[in-house]
Amino acid sequence: MAIKSTKLGDGEFEVMQAIWDAGEPVTASDILEKVQEKRTWGLSTLMTVLARLIEKGYLSCDKSTRSNIYSAVVQEKDYKKREGRSFLEKMYGNSISGFVSCLYDGGEVSDDELEELKRFIEKAGGEE
pLDDT tens digits, one per residue of 44-55: 999 999 999 999
Q: What is the pTM of this model?
A: 0.79
Judgement on whether residues 80 and 118 belong to the same structural domain of the protein: yes
**5 within some domain:** no
Q: Verify that 86 and 33 share a domain, yes or no.
A: no
Residue 4 lies in a domain: no
20 belongs to a structural domain: yes
Backbone angles phi, psi at 26, to 5 degrees: -135, 160
Range of 80's domain? 76-124
* pLDDT tens column, 35-77: 998 999 999 999 999 999 999 999 999 999 999 999 999 999 9
Q: Which amino acid is at 113?
A: E
3-state class (DSSP) for residue 28: helix
